Structure 1
Amino acid sequence: MPLALPARTAHRHVDVDGVRIFYRESLPEIPDAPVLLLLHGFPSASHQYRRLIDVLGARYRLIAPDYPGFGHSDVPEPASTGGTFDYTFDGLADVMEGFVQRLGLDRFVMYVFDFGAPVGFRLALRHPEWIAGLIVQNGNAYEEGLSREAAEFISLRPHMEGAEKAVRDLLTLPSTRAQYEGGTRDPEMIAPDGWTLDQHFLDLPGRTRPQIDLAFDYISNVERYPEWQEWLREHAPPALIVWGRDDVFFPEPGAHAYLRDLPDAELHVFDTGHFALEDGLREIAPLIAAFLDGVAAGSHGA
């Protein structure tokens, strides 16, 4: 068996409207390799895609940025405390739009997970010409894809008694670890590095208020679900849906709901949780590779 070497990966920064954005970019060994933009979730950052980049990055150009307030990117002071940056999903999408433009990307497959879905769908609505295909991994766009716990959390408002405490409780190590291990087949297959690094960033000075602001803004995503669904119906991008069925936030019905608007989408559901790549990489990576090849060859339509 030939030795499988990891991809070469560059770690870079780019300035987007005064915000220094960190990103990882694989350096593929083939010219004009298909581009996959990886949009991360909460409470993570681009590091959640390190293993996927290692596996696929020699063959495809994988690009994974950190949002403002996440990972190694800048944390501008929130507007809610007198600063200049709005930690809303519109605000994150504004920076990611500028990021794509700064890198000169004009056509790519987009991978959306968790927070990556509301950020990514905003990009898709603004620039449908950018989207060559869509990979959805536990990135919700339907009300039936919200668990009872998620719906209750989203209903919190800043003026409600105990609401901010509920958000702060979500930013603690036990909660972060539970998001990685919850719903998995074998917790021993989940490396502790992911939740440890996530918690390191969450605990840095100035990081809490951005997360609180984003939590209270999540309702804006639910309100826009009909727009995203209309976009899916109208543009019908080639789509691969891979989903951890035991996600405590976004359970399996959210995966099947996409088929209402994308009946030709390829759907795979796995016996795992929210961070499906953590223990499902061996199964999911080949599906992504085949999907990217199909999009590049035009065999997926659109």
Structure 2
Amino acid sequence: MDWERHKKDWPHAGTSRFILSKPHKWHVQEVGAGPMLLLLHGAGGATQSFRHLIPLLSKAYRVVAVDLPGQGFTRLGAQARCGLEYMAEDIAKLCMSQGWQPQAIIGHSAGAAVAFDLAPRLPAPTPRIIGINAALSHFKGVAGLMFPLMAKALAVMPGVAAIFTASNSNPRSIQRLIDGTGSTLPPEDLRYYGALVSDRDHVNATLQMMAQWDLRPLLKRLPQSGLKGLLIAGAADRAVPAETSRNLSEKIAGLEYAELLGLGHLAHEEAPEEVAALILGYLAKNAPD
């Protein structure tokens, strides 16, 4: 996305800066002081996803939000490095280049999966992980077989990003996309998603992420990982069912679970105060070992 075009009205633009940490040029927003929290958005989002949460968390913490490779305003430096493990590896390099040592990594949706893969790559003490509607399960049945194949096919087809941006960038399409997640956002928040899906580079990077996505190695490691954290789920989430986080917390020692009634996949945008209260309450009781 063109920063010069959007910086006048992008949320928290005054806190933005750009960092070259190969292979990508990262867009980062940083605000606050104290122990550090690293925020990672979900597939197809950007730092604007945390626009309401950042002011609440930065009262007590140094908050750093990062756009994933090729998404938002981060410039993609290697198209083949949009998969889960590559993104975690590249963000770990970014953290080490900046001397960042987060107390916790907060990830939304696919960003939570990146957080779980990233945390063990960072120096001790290992950060706590807070997942908001964490995308930590496979599609079931035929969808589980077909989705990866379709994503890979779409990612390599020329012009797909342009077709997607043309067909989904009008306000009604954006409204349908968000409604499909089980969340309800006001028009002033929806317009940021309109800007994202109208950008070919952002859409292309999101397609590449979907095509290269593979949860199997991470899910195999998680039960013995020793990672600790909190999984927050919206009971009305239509994208990632709440049972995904609930089941994972029951299987993995060290993971707590909290459910928010009436909220969808974008729970942290619908009810930032509720989500912030859960995060701050958990962190107050659970500092890294």
Moved more, 266-275 or 169-178: 169-178
Aligned to 1:248: 238
CA contact (8 A) 1:66 1:73 kept: yes
Q: Choose which of 210, 215, 222 in structure 2 pairs with 1:228.
A: 222
CA contact (8 A) 1:34 1:292 kept: no
Mapping of residues 31-46 of structure 1, within 5 Å: 33-46=34-47
Q: Does 1:113 align with 2:108?
A: yes
Q: Does 1:47 align with 2:48?
A: yes
1:92/1:183 Cα in 2 relative to 1: closer, same or farther (>3 Å)? closer
Mapping of residues 1-302 of structure 1, within 5 Å: 10-28=15-33, 33-76=34-77, 78=79, 85-127=80-122, 129-143=124-138, 146=139, 151=144, 154-157=147-150, 172-173=168-169, 176-182=174-180, 184=182, 187=184, 190-218=185-213, 220-231=214-225, 235-237=226-228, 239-263=229-253, 265-270=255-260, 271-296=262-287, 302=289
Give the whole-Å Cα distance in 1 for the aligned partners of 2:265 and 2:275: 14
Give the whole-Å Cα distance in 2 for the aligned partners of 1:154 and 1:251: 17
CA contact (8 A) 1:248 1:274 kept: yes
1:50/1:93 Cα in 2 relative to 1: closer, same or farther (>3 Å)? same
Q: Give the Å deviation of 1:204.
A: 2.2
Give the whole-Å Cα distance in 2 for the aligned partners of 1:89 and 1:191: 31
Give the whole-Å Cα distance in 1 for the aligned partners of 2:96 and 2:108: 21
Give the whole-Å Cα distance in 1 for the aligned partners of 2:140 and 2:244: 9
CA contact (8 A) 1:21 1:68 kept: yes
Identity of aligned residues (%): 20
Task: Give the letter for the 1:26 counterpart.
Answer: V
Root-mean-square deviation over aligned CA pairs: 3.3
Give the whole-Å Cα distance in 1 for the aligned partners of 2:143 and 2:275: 25
Consecutive unaligned residues in structure 2, runs of 5 or more:
1-11
TM-score by length of 2: 0.79
CA contact (8 A) 2:231 2:249 kept: no
Q: Give the Å deviation of 1:236.
A: 4.1
1:13/1:123 Cα in 2 relative to 1: closer, same or farther (>3 Å)? same
Give the whole-Å Cα distance in 2 for the aligned partners of 1:175 and 1:194: 14
Q: Deviations over 1:13-39 (max 9, x none)?
A: 2111152211111123xxxx2221111
Give the whole-Å Cα distance in 2 for the aligned partners of 1:274 and 1:147: 19
Task: Give the letter for the 1:181 counterpart.
Answer: D
Q: Deviations over 1:32-76 (max 9, x none)?
A: x22211111021111111111111212111110111211121133
Q: Give the Å deviation of 1:226.
A: 1.4
TM-score by length of 1: 0.76
Give the whole-Å Cα distance in 2 for the aligned partners of 1:163 and 1:8: 33
Give the whole-Å Cα distance in 2 for the aligned partners of 1:162 and 1:290: 41
Q: Secondary structure at the match of 1:269?
A: strand
Give the whole-Å Cα distance in 1 for the aligned partners of 2:283 and 2:14: 19
1:124/1:154 Cα in 2 relative to 1: closer, same or farther (>3 Å)? farther
